[in-house]
Amino acid sequence: MTLDHFLRSKEIIIDAAGWGDLLLGVVIGALKPPDRRYMERRIPTASFQPPNFKNKKYLKDSVKIADEIIEVMRPDEETHFKVSTAYVLLSVREHLQDLGFKVEKTEFTGELRNMVERGYLRWCNEVGVPEEVVNSKRRFWAMLKWVAEKPRLREKLVKTGWASWEQKWRKEIFKPIDVPS
């Protein structure tokens, strides 16, 4: 096989970051090689809070972002999309296929993954989350402890739609937290 078998001349890759994190929403990024055009958009925290989370508003938001990607990056019928396996991108994959694009579900660990993760970390920084919290090896626990320091002020930054938030973690932030080592 030749190298051109693996490389497509028209390709857009899409990934997301923040889905499993306690704070904020999700950042979706798209990269169009070889010209290196990159864009990112945010699904707001409110989409992960009641009642929006239960109604899966984040999936509708991700489709709106997919439409923005199409508008900005102007793919044609030969463009191939590689979209991350992230659940939050499920509707993106389906929407792109419905529009007639070739879509491949794939895992990312490379450059785009890093770019989108940096976008999520930048968002955390913008809302005042300290760098040592977002860079912690045990980020969930560091975020939980940070929210617990000022729960009435910081709970608005939390994905409160999670069942575990209402059933367990919300109660925990109003009492002292021991961070596992």
Domains belonging to the chain, first-starting first, are 3-123 (3.30.420.10)
pTM of the model: 0.86
Residue of 95, 134, 120, 148 lying closest to 45 (CA atoms):
120
Choose the most confident range, by mean pLDDT, from 84-93, 104-113, 169-178. 84-93
**Does the pLDDT value for residue 143 go beyond 90?**
yes
- For residue 17, give the nearest of 135, 163, 158, 116 by alpha carbon: 116
Q: What is the pLDDT of residue 102?
A: 93
Taking alpha carbons only, the member of 92, 91, 98 closest to residue 30 is 92
- pLDDT reported for residue 2: 43
Which residues are CB-neighbours of 102 under 8 A, at least 6 positions away? 79, 80, 81
pLDDT at 1: 40
Contact residues for 42 (Cβ-Cβ < 8 A; gap 6+) = 24, 25, 26, 27, 28, 123
Q: How far is CA 58 from CA 32, 70, 133, 148, 156, in A?
A: 23, 18, 25, 25, 17
Q: Residue type for 176, please?
A: P
**Calpha distance 157→170 (Å, rounded):** 13
- More confident site: 24 or 110: 24
Looking at residue 16, its pLDDT comes to: 96
The mean pLDDT of 140-162, rounded to a whole number, is: 92
For residue 178, what pLDDT is reported?
A: 59
Average pLDDT, the chain: 88
Helix ranges (DSSP H) in the chain: 57-73, 90-98, 111-126, 131-134, 139-149, 151-154, 163-164, 170-173
Amino acid at 160: T
pLDDT confidence tier of residue 177, bands split at 50, 70 and 90: low
Q: pLDDT by residue (tens digit) across 22-78?
A: 999 999 999 988 777 899 999 999 999 999 999 999 999 999 999 999 999 999 888
pLDDT for the residue numbered 171: 79
What's the confidence (pLDDT) of residue 180? 61
pLDDT score of 174 more than 90: no
Q: What is the pLDDT of residue 136?
A: 87
Please give the angle made by the CA atoms of 88, 90 and 96, to the nearest 5 degrees: 125
Question: How many other CB atoms are there within 10 angstroms of residue 120's CB atom?
Answer: 23
